[in-house]
Amino acid sequence: MARSVEKGDSGMATARPPLPLKTRLIIAAITSATDASRRRDGTVNRWLFNLFDRRTPPNPNPVDGVATADHTVDPSRHLWFRLFSPASPASGHLPVIVYFHGGGFAFHSAASGPYDAFCRRLARRVPALFASVEYRLAPEHRCPASYDDGIDVLRWLGNCDLVPDLSTVFLAGDSAGGNIAHHVARRARREALGRANVAGLVAIQPFFGGKVASPSEERLDGMPFGKLERFEWMWRSFMPVGADRDHEAANVFGPGSAAADDFEEGFPATMVCVGGWDALQDRQRWYCEGLKRNGVDVRVAEYPDAIHAFYVFPELPDAHKLVDDIADFVHRRMDELSRPVDK
């Protein structure tokens, strides 16, 4: 697919990602709603944003081969998850994928229409039991609230009878959700999680940061869902009060991180998805390098024509390729774990 060329503000030719008109219009609507909802005092106008964030109810009767049900973990925190169950699972046990949606830590929901549809596609294709977490949002709930929520969902699953087999649990998430999935994986090895055993991590265009802008953030500033000013606002809303973007929550292997201590007991095999039009791609590649330096099995999936959040647009070919690639990673990881260990 050829890359389009448009005129930038300076009048010079600027390359743009290859997107259908429908996708461009949807992106414009989402970014306008996000920016209009960001108040000057750093809070979010939830009422305004929710006018544009279409919510999908659970479907106990299968839709596209997948049934859904919502399960409450802690009503005092409004912490719950949506479980996606394939109607006709393959023979043998199904893996469990605990998923964290994107939205800059401050926007969207497990019930948001695009995320409900994306999780449904993944649950059907893998196939897997898919638990999409409704974690607490910033700025009302700053770091580490969403990390705590992720651990508590894992612990709740590991100590109940809802899911019969938790021997192969995968953590997954996109953008800010990829960041959450990473930090939940860090903590999971030290927590008492009952039967839940984390076997792998899928980080889809994970949202990491740092005090100094990366070359790709500067080069691709203003690309779809890639505005540097918006990133900075999201980090200010999420980080603990007084922390900067070199805090270990944002800059995993940065100067303020103790991440090296997290790999002494191992870290799950990780798949990282990188888009060629994503302003965050440098940080995602640096993340992969940091994992590899610490002995983690890392598999990188590159999508040269992909914008940030391309996976929620099923009209884009790479959205389908990503689903296939995640299914392949999960199957390969399950095969590896099922092989007898040489003594």
Catalytic sites, residue numbers: 175, 278, 308
9 within 8 A of 216, measured Cβ to Cβ: no
Measured from the Cβ of residue 194, the count of other Cβ atoms closer than 10 Å reads 14
Half-sphere exposure of 217 (CA within 13 A, CB side): 19
Q: Which amino acid is at 266?
A: G
Token pair listed for 194:
């009952």
CA pair distance 181, 278, nearest whole angstrom: 19
At residue 73, the 3 state secondary structure works out as strand
195 within 8 A of 231, measured Cβ to Cβ: no
Token pair listed for 26:
């949807």
Q: Which amino acid is at 70?
A: D
Our CA angle for 16, 18, 23, nearest 5°, is 105
Residues pairing with 16 in the sheet: 4
Give residues with Cβ within 8 angstroms of 225, minimum separation 6.
Answer: 27, 30, 31, 307, 308, 309
Residues pairing with 13 in the sheet: 7
Task: List the one residue out of 243, 201, 203, 235 whose CA is nearest residue 217.
Answer: 235
Measured from the Cβ of residue 201, the count of other Cβ atoms closer than 10 Å reads 28
Find tokens 């894992």 and name the residue.
Answer: 154
What CA dihedral angle connects 30, 67, 156 and 102, to 10 degrees?
Answer: -10
Token pair listed for 92:
């043998």
Task: List the one residue out of 268, 324, 278 whose CA is nearest residue 298.
Answer: 268
